[in-house]
Amino acid sequence: MDKKTIKDVDVKGKKVFVRVDYNVPFDEHQNITNDTRMVRTLPTINYLLDHGAAVILACHIGRPTEAREPQFSTKHLVKHLSELLNKDVKWASDCVGPEAEKLAADLKPGEVLLLENLRYHKAEKKNDPEFAKQLASLADLAVDDAFGVSHRAHASNAGVPKYIECVAGFLMEKEINYIGKTLEAPQHPFVAIIGGAKVSDKIGVITNLLDKCDTIIIGGGMAHTFDAAKGLPIGDSLCEPDKYDLARDILKKAEEKGVKVVLPLDLAVANMFPLADAEKWKKEGKMKVVDVDKVEDGWEALDSGEKTSKAYVEALKGAKTVIWNGPMGVFECDEFAKGTLAVAKAVADATDAGAISIVGGGDSVAALKKTGLTDKISHVSTGGGATLEFLEGKEMPGIAAIADK
């Protein structure tokens, strides 16, 4: 998967259309609450500016249903983006049409223009060729730095490259190199940690990794479906009874392929779900740690216990490649964050000892942030659904459209 990057093309004097993923969270006053996605694109934008390009940024925010819901306007990004780039960012009140065309035409090398939300046009998600052509006409070259939407065939990432050459930005290059190349030729022992609430969300990932991994650690809510499928009592724990056969099938395939599966040995259980009613939890909430075969009715498992964490840590020792997707419990509550914290620390330690580690998926990234160990991981993916589909080995339209070397 050798794709051209911005270093493979001459950008001097060119107008460059850059697809970024600035779908950032806002508070009720339209202040950005987490600018990670913006900060991650700065190396690409600054490289283009330093090498004499005029930069036209395109992105989407949210899922606008009515034509132009004002809370999803990219205008709310301009002030902060100007501060991050240390220069005044110009703004076009549409992404195509006369105003965008004039501002793009007048844009000089070293200047930045941000276009209005691409998804204000239904043509973006439909990958409409005419809309893609209009976007492409604004520039001489396209750069895709929006890994978060690379699993979608939209006009701005899959359509534009039909009209002008498209290369990868640094952020996209990093995702392709880390996830793509790691999965193509992983170093062994290769350990995958799959958590989160549901097996159904991760079937594709587990199936794809069974062919590549030496060990799969299964935790979080999805582990209860495996436990129940094995006939263990799970009390009131989260579970998908319609996936029992699938869970058994995964365990059988793992055994046939010689892949070790590590499931919980003990669990932290509670008599109610703490996030449902914080006040009630404070007054009446109880928790305890029990062995995996001792979960009683009226109790639900919300985290892995100490024995389990030790087993997970042990399974990660000596690993050369580690992929982690999904938390081990309800990490948003400190009482049930211990399992996730233990895994985060073990992954950081494995990385320190020479492993390549990749963490992806919104919840895992949020959990990792809570542990303060983000900087100790080789690569933290910026994609949610995109990371999952890449780990599943699916064709990614946004990546496929980037020119090959």
Task: Report domain extents, the chain.
Answer: 6-172, 186-391
Residue corresponding to tokens 């500016």 = 49
CA distance 314 to 222: 21
**CA dist., res. 127 & res. 36, Å (int):** 27
Q: What is the percentage of the chain residues whose pLDDT exceeds 90? A: 78
List, in order, residues 6 or more apart from 76 with CB less than 8 Å away: 26, 30, 32, 61
Higher pLDDT, 67 or 57: 57
pLDDT tens by residue, 193-246: 999 888 888 888 899 999 999 999 999 999 999 999 999 999 999 999 999 999
Q: From the CB of residue 179, how many other CB atoms can be counted at a distance below 10 Å? A: 23
Q: What pLDDT digit, counting tens, does each position of 361-387 carry?
A: 767 888 888 888 889 999 998 887 888
- The mean pLDDT of 2-6, rounded to a whole number, is 93
Q: Return the CATH number of the domain spanning residue range 6-172.
A: 3.40.50.1260
Mean residue pLDDT across the chain = 93
Say how far apart CA 342 and CA 26 lie, in whole Å: 31
Number of Cβ within a 10 Å radius of residue 162? 14
pLDDT at residue 1 is higher than 70: no
Give residue 198's pLDDT.
Answer: 85
For residue 222, give every residue at least 6 positions away whose Cβ sits within 8 Å of its Cβ, in sequence order, or none: 194, 195, 196, 197, 198, 199, 201, 202, 240, 326
Residues contributing to the annotated binding site: 21-23, 37, 60-63, 119, 152, 202, 332, 361-364
Closest among 105, 162, 224, 150 to 1, alpha carbons compared: 150
C-alpha 1/C-alpha 183 separation (Å) is 11
Lowest model confidence (mean pLDDT) among 35-44, 168-177, 319-328, 362-371: 362-371
Query: Does residue 168 register a pLDDT over 70?
Result: yes
Per the CB < 8 A criterion, the answer to whether 163 and 132 are in contact is: yes
361's CB contacts (< 8 A; 6+ apart) are 196, 325, 326, 381, 384, 387, 388
Q: Mean pLDDT throughout 242-258?
A: 95
**Residue 105: band (very low, low, confident or very high) from pLDDT cuts 50, 70, 90:** very high
Instruction: Say which CATH architecture domain 186-391 belongs to.
Output: 3-Layer(aba) Sandwich (3.40)
In this prediction, residue 365 carries a pLDDT of 81
Task: Quickly count: other Cβ atoms within 10 Å of residue 128's Cβ.
Answer: 16
Structure confidence at residue 249 as a pLDDT band (50, 70, 90): very high
Catalytic residues: 37, 198, 362, 385
User: Binding site for ATP: residue ranges?
Assistant: 202, 332, 361-364
Instruction: Scan for tokens 């599943």, then name that residue.
Output: 392
* Tokens coding 155: 């006009």
* pLDDT band, residue 192 (cuts 50/70/90): very high
How far, in Å, CA of 243 to CA of 230, rounded? 12
Q: Which of 183, 142, 178 is nearest to 159 (CA)?
A: 142
User: Which residues sit in the known binding site for substrate?
Assistant: 21-23, 37, 60-63, 119, 152
